[in-house]
Amino acid sequence: MNKINSIRKDWSLIETLIAEDRKILDIGCGDGGLMEQLEKNRNAITHGIELNRDLAANAISRGFNVVHGNAELDLSQYSNNSFDYVILSQTLQAMMKPKDILSELLRIGSKAIVSFPNFGHWKIRLQLLISGKMPVTESLPYTWYDTPNIHFFTIKDFLNLCNEMNIVVEKSIGLTSKGKQFDISESVTGVNFFTHEAIFLLSYKNFEPIKIKSSKKVFAKNSVIAN
């Protein structure tokens, strides 16, 4: 099978975070572009949710498993740990309850991949500082009264929330507005200033399995310390 090239820069980065042969849920999957890429290039089994009727119809017509629905209402139907990765690309800022969504992602999936536009980028700060009006940029191109983005946050805010929720950032990739890519965790100063768009690979704190040897059996359990 021919590998396909990604249409969006963030998709190719998301692909690098995903291992082969995994089961993936793409929230806000559109017409299935990322799903197609991951099926072809990573041999993934993909599922998607899409709110927009026409996009969902399009994705289904292309043969993908897509449920036309609203992530804020419909995620509860999925069982715990039923996916290896749950992807939420560029939509966390449009959710009514981003914190609840974040915990849902990590309930359904072993790992979550979240990408969002950074409200701490210098252009946005400058616009607000100088003009005194809500910023309008390429990544956040809406005026305040008709934007789908209702929760603005910066990389710092996001990292604080992860910390509060005991979520581990396994990997973090930043993109500048010129498309230059860097590792957020390694660059200390100015990250929040220069990152235009951020992509995070998240999981809950993973404890090494503790093996308890009894005379007959070996017990293994995650995150449990036995007496």
Partner 1 sequence: MKTKFTTDTKLESEIAYFENINLKLESGDIIDSFKLAFKTYGKLNTDKTNAVLVCHALTGDQYVAGHNPITGREGWWSRMVGPNKPIDTNKFFVICSNVLGGCAGSTGPKELQNGNDVAYGGNFPSVTIKDMVMAQSLLIESLNIEKLFSVIGGSMGAMQALQWAIDFPDKILNIIHIAGALKHSAQNIAFHEVGRQAIMSDPIWKNGKYFENNEVPERGLSVARMIAHITYLSENAMHRKFGRKLQSRDIISFGFDADFQVESYLRYQGKSFVERFDANSYLYLTRAMDYFDHDETFRKNIEFSHNPNNHLKYLIVSFTSDWLFPTIESKMIVNQLNSLSREVSFLEIDTDKGHDSFLLEEPQLDDVIKGFLTNNFAKINE
Q: Should residue 23 be labelled a site residue for partner 1 when binding is judged by CB under 8 A? A: yes
In whole angstroms, give the CA distance from residue 206 to residue 224. 11
Interacting residue with partner 1 among 22, 42, 47, 121 (CB under 8 A) = 47
Choose, by CB under 8 A, the member of 57, 134, 161, 168 that binds partner 1: 57
What is the rounded distance in angstroms from the CA atom of residue 67 to the CA atom of residue 78? 12
Query: Smallest gap, in angstroms, from Cβ of residue 35 to partner 1?
Result: 12
d(C-alpha 184, C-alpha 175), whole Å: 9
Q: Which of 16, 43, 52, 61 binds partner 1 (CB under 8 A)?
A: 61
Q: Which residues contact 142 (CB under 8 A, 6 or more apart)?
A: 136, 148, 149
Quote the least distance from Cβ 85 to partner 1, whole Å. Answer: 14
Closer residue to partner 1 (CB): 109 or 120: 109
Is 56 a binder of partner 1 (CB under 8 A)? yes
Q: Is 137 left (phi over 0), alpha (psi -120 to 50) or beta?
A: beta
Straight-line distance from the first to the last Cα atom of the chain, in angstroms, rounded to the nearest whole number? 52
Strand partners, 206: none
Q: How many residues bind partner 1 (CB under 8 A)?
A: 21
CA distance 92 to 82: 21
Q: Binding to partner 1 by residue 102, rule CB under 8 A? A: no
Shortest separation between residue 72's beta carbon and partner 1, angstroms: 15
Closest CB to partner 1 among 22 and 196? Answer: 22
Extract the tokens encoding 58: 């399009």
Q: How far is the CB of 1 from partner 1 (least distance, A)?
A: 8
Q: Which of residues 115-174 bind partner 1 (CB under 8 A)?
A: none
Among 11, 12, 17, 65, binds partner 1 (CB under 8 A): 65
Q: Which of 62, 99, 133, 180 binds partner 1 (CB under 8 A)?
A: 62
Least distance (Å) from partner 1 to the CB of residue 185?
32
User: Residue 183 has which token pair?
Assistant: 């590792």
Give bridge partners of residue 220 from the DSSP assignment. Answer: 211
Q: Is residue 82 a contact residue for partner 1 (CB under 8 A)? A: yes
Q: How far is CA 8 from CA 17, 34, 37, 159, in A?
A: 15, 9, 11, 24
Cα angle 77-79-82, degrees, rounded to a multiple of 5: 125
Q: What is the smallest separation between the CB atom of 20 and partner 1, expressed in angstroms?
A: 18
Contact residues for partner 1 (CB under 8 A)? 23, 47, 53-54, 56-57, 60-69, 77-79, 82-83
